[in-house]
Structure 1
């Protein structure tokens, strides 16, 4: 009671200007990271959304003074992030768990939380902003998954590259007020603690702490959990070294080191669009030809040419005052297209794609649809990112097992194997791949079980079961064939 009363008193004093609120969440002493790096995330997010003021707000001068306009953009960061996310994770990605019961429970959690759709969407945000977080929690319906973008998560402590504690930040606008919800995930000894705080502000600062019941009447201020092996969230990032701040475990956007190229691309595309407006056909006519003549009978004005037509420009000729001149500017379409394609090839190199992956045909950016060679830069980049994505999915499954066990929804086995088979159809011929493993088996270089595991993308146990089933079928077929030809012990003597 007293706690809520004090909070409400501080809220009133803050509104009256008698006390100051916290300027920024980064000013809280528990946060070991300053906001410099998060300013970079804001830049990557702005470029992904299609407008970054430093890039796309253009000033130009006219006879009427300085004006501003919005530069046209190819929005290539969106294209890059979407293409990479689609290459790596889609509906063809297969996740297998060696324990059948646990596998069914996990896949049911995925189905109820629309994991395939949401994970691909947030994987795109991961490549665009440098990271994303998947939280696991429980409600009356079962185990739930929550997704958070990089700009709403702050790491608090980490071990090597694994984040152990974190802060989730979400903003809510209600009329003229801004509310900020802080959700702390921290360890206190062997206990995992989740704390919730709510702050109110009338400006852009964090403001003052207010009761949770202001917005979340059913939310507890603190939850303590025992017997957890790892935090209830998994941080996902691109497999690209963070050269902006090597001391923190956060990732960077895949195009973070190609901002100059992205800006040059938008400048070239903007120039390409303006080429048609600024290079339009013009007819120069003498000023005498557009003088207004007033009809004395009706009072109406008459012109020799329509002065509102943009084709005509008046000019006071020194000579040949009666001359009409047609000025047609040659458009530099091919030059612009070639320049944009050259920049697209440079961008592809910077982000790990093969040259020619992105092309501009004068109407928009297209991506290569042909089969990607296994030796291509695009395929190697895809496999590189799959390493960290695969590990993140394994950790997510482990957390789902923890939460399911904790709240009694299902049992999680102590030992199991997770196999994740990404969709490599863009780069692999399945028939050729199967033939390759058959040849290795026939040469005695690998076992049949390993070949089944690699070709079908199943676990070691599943491959062993399939091999046993195949051998049993072959024995049955052989016995039937022998009996058919009368070669059994009960046949002719």
Structure 2
């Protein structure tokens, strides 16, 4: 690693991550900072010029309040993505029963919550790291933590993660920057503390130089031959960095390429609210209708006054005007809402989801088949993401089991790679499924094994075989001939 930190290619990647992170957070200050060049100082040249051309890149007129509002659709999309994946937890089973029992304990400890959290960050930032942690003073079991990609320097080899360095700033006093570097490689975790500045890593210093790193061991030998970290890409390929070798295997954010539409949606919503604000009824009142409050105190018009004293209206009549004129501007509600709805649907479609998933369809689906048809895009995106999450979960759970066995002394573990099965996105219509199975069985078109597989699509081979054995056993018992009673002879 060069002394410039983060490395140049990481800084380039983090430019996009900062933009996506701002949209994900929904914080107006973050959106203004990142588009107006007041963020982390990562932007320059054409990138900064492009951001400033956004509506959020236009600063407010001096002396006026901003009046900019944000529709948190980006955050909703990332949250919906996580819920589609982990609204119902996947089944994680091992061929070794002790491993399966231990995995159940991990789930009881909140493993599912960590996976859902990671999935939301992954949808927004294009990927996420899952890291195994353990500390006997905290728990007798290991657990997973989520690390966002803007705090990591990964090492890939032919698309496989071979090592990663996580970093965090533990001290920044404006001059000196202390960074904690945590590097993971197969069989080894190292901790280092570096003293530098905003742009350079500087030189290593003892871990005891800061309280947050003082208790860390410089080297931890994991005792296993695999990483204790996995990188879960959101969706590949990442079109932005396909020509950057170090970042070519990063995932693609749901927001990639959709940022201008997010910007336009906020502009349209703010325009509607501006119309409402400016559309308040107002009265233009002639000076003769005002109550003089005295020298230097100005004048006022009491809108609640019921009785007005006759005044000289000659001046107003000569000009063809009345001394009081009401102004009620039109509020273009329908036009604004139409534009907002069109932008919202386009954003959802561009992010890979169906408007029905967000409740934007005017029709109500009655059956599970109709729901599945109208949410095809969301289901396809979910299936695509599952293809990355499933092997990643299996890999990191295997690492957890291995750490559990080596460092925490969990008895009976084999640390085998488990199987991960995600449930169906749409609950099947059991009545329709059973009728289909009955018809196929009557036509002798499928075996009993296949019938069970259709009825229970989330079961693995062993579970199907076990159920088939039970059915055969029950049927044999029913068909067994009755033994005659000796008294009947």
Question: Which of the five TM-score ranges fits, normalised by the shorter chain?
Answer: 0.7 to 0.9
Could you list the runs of 5+ residues in structure 2 that have no partner in the other structure?
Answer: 36-54, 306-314
Q: Contact 1:197/1:209 (CA < 8 Å) preserved in 2?
A: yes
1:118 is matched with which residue? Answer: 114
1:373 is matched with which residue? Answer: 372
Q: 2:69 aligns with which of 69, 72, 75?
A: 72
The CA RMSD over aligned residues, in Å, is 3.4
Once the two structures are superposed, the pairs formed by residues 87-486 of structure 1 within 5 Å of their partners are 87-112=84-109, 114-140=110-136, 141-160=140-159, 162-173=160-171, 178-187=177-186, 192-200=187-195, 206=201, 208-213=203-208, 214-215=210-211, 216-228=213-225, 230-246=226-242, 247=245, 248-290=248-290, 292=292, 294=294, 303=299, 305-306=301-302, 319-320=319-320, 322-358=322-358, 372-374=371-373, 376-407=376-407, 408-413=409-414, 418-424=419-425, 426=426, 428-456=428-456, 457-479=458-480, 483=482
Q: TM-score if structure 1 supplies the norm length? A: 0.78
Look up the SS of the partner of 1:163 in the other structure.
strand
2:39 is matched with which residue? Answer: none
For residue 360 of structure 1, report the CA deviation from its aligned partner.
Answer: 7.4
Q: Distance in 1 between matches of 2:417 and 2:80?
A: 33
Q: Contact 1:199/1:209 (CA < 8 Å) preserved in 2?
A: yes
Q: Contact 1:184/1:196 (CA < 8 Å) preserved in 2?
A: yes
Q: Distance in 2 between matches of 1:236 and 1:221?
A: 27
Q: 1:271 to 1:48 in 2, by over 3 A?
A: same
Q: Contact 1:345/1:357 (CA < 8 Å) preserved in 2?
A: no
Q: Contact 1:265/1:340 (CA < 8 Å) preserved in 2?
A: yes
Q: Contact 2:401/2:415 (CA < 8 Å) preserved in 1?
A: no
Q: Distance in 1 between matches of 2:412 and 2:364?
A: 45
For residue 72 of structure 1, report the CA deviation from its aligned partner.
Answer: 0.2
Q: 1:414 to 1:300 in 2, by over 3 A?
A: closer
Q: Contact 1:286/1:321 (CA < 8 Å) preserved in 2?
A: no
Q: Contact 1:180/1:198 (CA < 8 Å) preserved in 2?
A: yes
Q: Distance in 2 between matches of 1:202 and 1:78?
A: 33
Q: Distance in 2 between matches of 1:302 and 1:70?
A: 29
Q: 1:419 to 1:236 in 2, by over 3 A?
A: closer
Q: Distance in 2 between matches of 1:290 and 1:145?
A: 70
Pair 1:84-2:92 in alignment:
no
Q: Distance in 2 between matches of 1:415 and 1:101?
A: 10
Q: Distance in 1 between matches of 2:446 and 2:195?
A: 64
Q: Distance in 1 between matches of 2:181 and 2:68?
A: 37
1:278-328 Cα shifts (integer Å, max 9, x gaps): 11111122244347353xxxx795746159x9xxxxxx9892464321111
Q: Contact 2:405/2:413 (CA < 8 Å) preserved in 1?
A: yes
1:26 is matched with which residue? Answer: 7
Q: Contact 1:169/1:183 (CA < 8 Å) preserved in 2?
A: yes
Structure (1/2) with the larger strand percentage: 1
Q: Distance in 2 between matches of 1:325 and 1:359?
A: 45
Q: Contact 1:344/1:359 (CA < 8 Å) preserved in 2?
A: no
Look up the SS of the partner of 2:330 in the other structure.
coil
1:118-150 Cα shifts (integer Å, max 9, x gaps): 211221111011111111243322322222112
Q: Contact 1:98/1:462 (CA < 8 Å) preserved in 2?
A: no
Q: Contact 1:59/1:66 (CA < 8 Å) preserved in 2?
A: no
Q: Structure 1 stretch 143-152 or stretch 342-351: which is displaced more?
A: 143-152
Q: Distance in 2 between matches of 1:433 and 1:392?
A: 32
Look up the SS of the partner of 1:239 in the other structure.
coil
Q: Distance in 1 between matches of 2:320 and 2:297?
A: 26
Q: Distance in 2 between matches of 1:452 and 1:396?
A: 31
2:49 is matched with which residue? Answer: none
1:223-277 Cα shifts (integer Å, max 9, x gaps): 234551x311111121242000014211121111211111111111111111110
Q: 1:139 to 1:60 in 2, by over 3 A?
A: closer
1:155-208 Cα shifts (integer Å, max 9, x gaps): 123332x21111112233587775321111135xxxx33221113467676454
Q: Structure 1 stretch 348-357 or stretch 128-137: which is displaced more?
A: 348-357
Q: 1:428 to 1:266 in 2, by over 3 A?
A: farther
Look up the SS of the partner of 1:35 in the other structure.
helix
Q: Contact 1:171/1:178 (CA < 8 Å) preserved in 2?
A: yes
Q: Distance in 2 between matches of 1:105 and 1:153?
A: 30
Q: Distance in 1 between matches of 2:485 and 2:322?
A: 118
Q: Contact 1:59/1:68 (CA < 8 Å) preserved in 2?
A: no
For residue 384 of structure 1, report the CA deviation from its aligned partner.
Answer: 1.6
Q: Distance in 2 between matches of 1:138 and 1:265?
A: 44
Q: How many residues align?
A: 438
Q: 1:410 to 1:436 in 2, by over 3 A?
A: farther
For residue 115 of structure 1, report the CA deviation from its aligned partner.
Answer: 0.8
Q: 1:56 to 1:419 in 2, by over 3 A?
A: same
Q: Distance in 2 between matches of 1:434 and 1:391?
A: 32
Q: Contact 1:132/1:149 (CA < 8 Å) preserved in 2?
A: yes
Look up the SS of the partner of 2:241 in the other structure.
coil
Q: Structure 1 stretch 198-207 or stretch 335-344: which is displaced more?
A: 198-207
